Amino acid sequence: MPSPDTPAPAPERVEPPGTERPIVRVRGVSKTFGKDVRALDDVSLDVAPGIVYGLLGPNGAGKTTLIRVLATLLRPEGGDVEVAGVDVLADPTGARARIGLAGQFAAVDEYLTGRENVVMVGRLYGLSGREARRRADDVLERIKLTDAATRRVGTYSGGMRRRLDLAASLVGRPQVMFLDEPTTGIDPRSRLDLWELVEDLVETGTTVLLTTQYLEEADRLADRIGVIDDGRIVSEGTADELKDTLGGAVLEVTVAPDDVARSREILGGIAGDEVASAAAGTRLRVPARDGVVTLMAATRGFDAIGLQPLDVALHKPTLDDVFLALTGDRPEPVEGEAAEAATGVGLDATSGPSTGMATTSPTTPASSGDRPAA
């Protein structure tokens, strides 16, 4: 029986009913490159376990920088980062044992076979040779690369390399998988294959955080979406919640380049909102909260100044509309956020700055290459 003088143990914290502790938790994270490039500006977000969280934003918005912070490849100037219950800044080695990363470019060795690449990463995770080979065969079958497993990677297509890169990230059975623009630069068939693989990952218990510039990809895969622009999360929610923020319908008007300025003035006056543009600035969009009434008002405005639009459409909001309303830009598929990734320092004080592709294990310092160790 405890002594009366012995302090009672602190009560165990119990989460409120219906809530789960986030598997990824970011609070107030900032990162600056050089003197004035603010890649992340007080970013905070939560990712629930067992979902796909989509980080949507234009090139240079901060997506890749945030992924690199989460994956222990960059140290932010401030804030707190927790992944799978581990403080990433205080214990990067512990965090790497719980994560996987497939970066923007496939980090594979062209001179090895597909199977040899995956086995090599397994050994770097500390697996025995037998276990590494067993897991390699398992993940290669899972991503439908068994038939090509004994071929040199130099003979693989771009889509096959992306799948192999993902297989190598999975061999350590991570709790959280970070996918940085996983389908950039691959053909539509390979893109669909990777989407199916991501869905399979979540079904087997892996939490996925992916960055993308493809609106269709975010709409198809993400259970929850964060829109990032200029280093800040500007909106967050499910795809339907984000679409609902626009309210009602969207009026889209396509005009000739010489008519853009006058059209913006008319639409801005009718909708009372900033006019978003796409397609080299000739396709203009505004919320049409009054539906057909807004459409008719726009038509009368164009008629009054003798302007003939090339096309006029009224439709329900899409993620494209949300993106334009929030950022004023249309995301374009590019090769990645090279400016953000140009500088990187791992979190281990002993590792120092490093560059280039590398594969690391949970017990080795991280480098700035695409494969963190998971």
Which pLDDT band, with edges at 50, 70 and 90, does 347 fall under?
low
On the 0-12 / 13-18 / 19+ scale of CB atoms within 10 A, 104 is buried
Q: Are 162 and 194 in contact (CB under 8 A)?
A: yes
Q: Which residue has 């096309």 as its token pair?
A: 311
Q: Is the pTM of this model over 0.75?
A: no
Cα–Cα distance, 78 to 296 (Å, whole number) = 51
Name 19's Cβ contacts closer than 8 Å, sequence gap at least 6: none
The two structure tokens encoding residue 124: 């770097």
- State the pLDDT at residue 363: 40
In the predicted structure, residue 182 carries a pLDDT above the cut 50 = yes
Cα–Cα distance, 122 to 134 (Å, whole number) = 10
Cα–Cα distance, 177 to 135 (Å, whole number) = 17
CA dihedral (327, 333, 334, 340) positive or negative: positive
Tens digits of residue pLDDT in 128-176: 999 999 999 998 988 889 999 999 999 998 888 888 988 888 888 899 9
The partner residues of 176 in beta bridges, in order of sequence, read: 99, 207
Backbone angles phi, psi at 83, to 5 degrees: -130, 125
The partner residues of 232 in beta bridges, in order of sequence, read: 229
Distances (CA, A) of 196 to 159, 201, 221, 339, 342: 13, 9, 9, 30, 31
Which pLDDT band, with edges at 50, 70 and 90, does 329 fall under?
low
Which pLDDT band, with edges at 50, 70 and 90, does 282 fall under?
confident
In the predicted structure, residue 1 carries a pLDDT above the cut 80 = no
Which pLDDT band, with edges at 50, 70 and 90, does 327 fall under?
confident
**Mean pLDDT on 107-122:** 92
**Mean pLDDT on 355-373:** 37
In the predicted structure, residue 252 carries a pLDDT above the cut 60 = yes
Strands of the chain, DSSP E: 24-33, 37-47, 52-56, 78-83, 86-87, 99-102, 176-180, 207-212, 224-229, 232-237, 249-254, 276-278, 283-288, 311-315
Is residue 124 classed as helix, strand or coil in its secondary structure? helix
| Helix (DSSP H) and strand (DSSP E) numbers for the chain | 12, 14
Residue 297: CB atoms within 10 Å: 18
Higher pLDDT, 276 or 260: 260
**Mean pLDDT on 344-355:** 39
How confident is the prediction for the chain on average, in pLDDT? 81
**Mean pLDDT on 335-348:** 43
- State the pLDDT at residue 371: 44
Distances (CA, A) of 305 to 273, 292, 302, 340: 21, 20, 6, 45
**Mean pLDDT on 250-279:** 84
All domains of the chain in start order, with CATH: 24-242+334-341 (3.40.50.300), 249-316 (3.30.70.980)
